[in-house]
Amino acid sequence: MSLLGTSIIGASRGNGSKVTTHAINPATGEKLEPAYLGATSEEVARALELAAAAFPKYSRLSGKERGAFLRAIAGEIETVADEIAARGPLETGLPEARLRGETARTTGQLRLFAALAEEGSWVDARIEHAQPDRQPLAKVDLRSMLRPLGPVAVFAASNFPLAFSVAGGDTASALAAGCPVIVKAHSSHPGVSEIVGAAVRRAAEKTGMPEGVFSLLYGGGRDVGIALVEAPQIKAVGFTGSRSGGTALMAAAAKRPEPIPVYAEMSSINPVVFLPEILAQKGEVLAEGLFGSLTMGVGQFCTNPGLVFLEENSAGPFLAKLKTLVEAGAPGVMLNSAICEAYHSATSDLAKKKDVAVLAKAAAAPGQGQGSPVVFQTSVDTFTADPELCAEMFGPATLVITGSLEKITAAIVDLEGQLTTSIHGTDTEIAQVDDLLAAMENRSGRVIFNGFPTGVEVCHSMVHGGPFPSTSDGRSTSVGSMAIHRFARPISWQSAPQSALPAELRDGNPSGIWRMIDGQRGQG
């Protein structure tokens, strides 16, 4: 398709304000055509009106109808996979193979949520029958299930231009729940956003969805994003990005006359603990695993391992191998100049810290828009005394911290919330570190044994969330089928006639879903 550079507002295209942005090729600094026109305030208002008008109809479609829409989106995205693979590397510096892999992950996510909506049991239907003769008080008939919140604003992430972007996990889970979506495109990859946004529109039209079920708005300068969060029509927000961006949206949502939930995935440094026996057994192999995880995607993953804890004197071969690998490591193009500058500034600030040493850095100098692997080292005492050592360095950098197991455990207890914590140890070692495991569970959303945090499986039991600031709400996940719960709320119907009940709560179970009836789970 030829790119038009305008917002998608329901079934029409915007004309845009005078404020234009271009995608910039991070590898060359070259401006990419076309210019993207930010949405005007009238266009934002139109997208909001359409979403609010779509909600009553869209939220009442059956799970099968919503599933068909999500499957159609996946199918439409597959028809433009070559266009994504051509444009994506220019806008993001990511290789074509990564873009193709991420396209497949995105269509897989859409189909996972389609299946969830079609099967229908996610609504957690519960029926308690009336007991008019109960003493001392009669019991009324009460039935409950999860229902969609309303239109959702989704902020696309820079580091996953597909899987956490226009038709990524936030959009898929909100649509599956029954919520219309307005996406604020990320300014880093507007062309890929337009290709995917147009695919979503085609799917909406082919499956007869109400017009306002989906819009895609461009706009830098923060006005469009803040206008969405403040709009009374919006009932929840999904976001992946920086801590400053996520907390700004949380503050804007909390200040509304009707505050709304913001599900922001923000900052995580993903500590990895290596116990001594496993390091003695296979230190070099573990160094290779850590290096692979650290440098994957030029370290631009929210699950990048940014802290490594080891006991003193246990890690000679491990650290020697890590040093060799990092020194031979290659620089890589980062997603955009802001992320690249932030990485260089974070690593040079850390290098200036007293009592923090550079263990190893890549020998090759970084070129235009590039970041290089670097590993720092310090003691657990220095680490615990300086909260700045916990700042996220978004890129291929990590800080190795050495100290006693007791002090390492205390340091993990005091960490800010994380998406993940990882531990490497033999079975015997792991059986002896209950306090450490309890601290890891308390501080993170996913505890990983003998593995590395990068690589997030999209499935029913994945939790990609964690206590603040890894996310704004540690009770939620942004990956996997549980993500749907962010965009729904429980409602009870009391003494309702059958005709007034959703199908999921009617006698005879016409939807055939799993329900809880008078305390017993079943499909009856």
Mind giving me the DSSP string for 32-72? EEEEEEPPPHHHHHHHHHHHHHHHHHHTTS-HHHHHHHHHH
Count, residues near ligand NAP per rule CB under 6 A: 25
| Residue 167 CA neighbour count, 13 Å, CB half | 37
Q: Is residue 22 exposed (0-12), middle (13-18) or buried (19+ Cβ within 10 Å)?
A: middle
Which residues, numbered 99-158, are part of the site for ligand NAP (CB under 6 A)? Answer: 155, 157-158
Q: How many Å apart are CA 168 and CA 239, to the nearest integer?
A: 11
Please say which residue, 190 or 210, places its beta carbon nearer to ligand NAP. Answer: 190
Which residues, numbered 357-386, are part of the site for ligand NAP (CB under 6 A)? Answer: none
CB of 155 vs ligand NAP, minimal distance in Å: 4
CB of 341 vs ligand NAP, minimal distance in Å: 9
Q: How many Å apart are CA 417 and CA 441, to the nearest integer?
A: 10
CB of 268 vs ligand NAP, minimal distance in Å: 5
Q: How many Å apart are CA 237 and CA 230, to the nearest integer?
A: 10
Question: Which of 263, 267, 270 minimizes the C-alpha distance to 475?
Answer: 263
Q: Which of 17, 267, 314, 420 is in the footprint of ligand NAP by CB under 6 A?
A: 267
Indicate whether 36 belongs to the interface with ligand NAP (CB under 6 A). Answer: no
Do the strands 357-361 and 236-240 form a parallel or antiparallel pair, or are they unpaired? Answer: unpaired
Indicate whether 391 belongs to the interface with ligand NAP (CB under 6 A). Answer: no
Indicate whether 161 belongs to the interface with ligand NAP (CB under 6 A). Answer: no
Which residues, numbered 244-263, are part of the site for ligand NAP (CB under 6 A)? Answer: 245, 248
Which of 43, 265, 392, 504 is an active site residue?
A: 265
CB of 478 vs ligand NAP, minimal distance in Å: 9
Indicate whether 266 belongs to the interface with ligand NAP (CB under 6 A). Answer: yes
CB of 143 vs ligand NAP, minimal distance in Å: 39
Asked if 362 and 329 touch (Cβ cutoff 8 Å), the reply is yes
Stretch of residues binding ligand NAP (CB under 6 A), selected from 5-13, 237-245, 471-479, 499-507: 237-245
Q: Which of 144, 242, 477, 511 is in the footprint of ligand NAP by CB under 6 A?
A: 242
Which residues, numbered 268-287, are part of the site for ligand NAP (CB under 6 A)? Answer: 268
Please say which residue, 383 or 394, places its beta carbon nearer to ligand NAP. Answer: 394
Please say which residue, 36 or 58, places its beta carbon nearer to ligand NAP. Answer: 36
271-274 β-sheet, strand order: 357-361, 374-379, 397-403, 307-311, 271-274, 418-424, 444-449
Asked if 504 and 145 touch (Cβ cutoff 8 Å), the reply is yes
Which residues, numbered 435-494, are part of the site for ligand NAP (CB under 6 A)? Answer: none
Q: Which of 151, 190, 241, 306 is in the footprint of ligand NAP by CB under 6 A?
A: 241
Indicate whether 91 belongs to the interface with ligand NAP (CB under 6 A). Answer: no
Tell me which DSSP letter residue 188 carries: T
Indicate whether 184 belongs to the interface with ligand NAP (CB under 6 A). Answer: yes
List, as own/partner pairs, every contact residues 136-143 make where C-beta atoms lie below 8 angstroms and the sequence separation is at least 24, other chains included: 140/494, 140/495, 141/494, 141/495, 141/496, 142/492, 142/493, 142/494, 143/492, 143/493, 143/496, 143/501, 143/505
CB of 391 vs ligand NAP, minimal distance in Å: 9
Residues with Cβ within 8 Å of 12's Cβ and at least 6 positions away in sequence, in order, are: none
Q: How many Å apart are CA 493 and CA 502, to the nearest integer?
A: 10
Indicate whether 394 belongs to the interface with ligand NAP (CB under 6 A). Answer: yes
Which residues, numbered 194-233, are part of the site for ligand NAP (CB under 6 A)? Answer: 220, 222, 225-226
Which of 302, 311, 392, 504 is an active site residue?
A: 302
Stretch of residues binding ligand NAP (CB under 6 A), selected from 40-48, 241-249, 454-462, 516-524: 241-249
**Residue 384 Rama label (left phi>0; alpha psi -120 to 50; beta):** alpha
Burial 199-211 (b: 16+ CB within 10 A, else e): bbbbbbeebebbb
Please say which residue, 25 or 409, places its beta carbon nearer to ligand NAP. Answer: 25
Burial 98-114 (b: 16+ CB within 10 A, else e): bbbebbbbbbebbbbbb
CB of 314 vs ligand NAP, minimal distance in Å: 30
Which residues, numbered 303-362, are part of the site for ligand NAP (CB under 6 A)? Answer: 339, 342
* 265 is known as an active-site residue: yes
What is the set of active-site residues? 265, 302
Q: Which residues contact ligand NAP by CB under 6 A? A: 155, 157-159, 184, 186-187, 220, 222, 225-226, 240-242, 245, 248, 265-268, 302, 339, 342, 392, 394
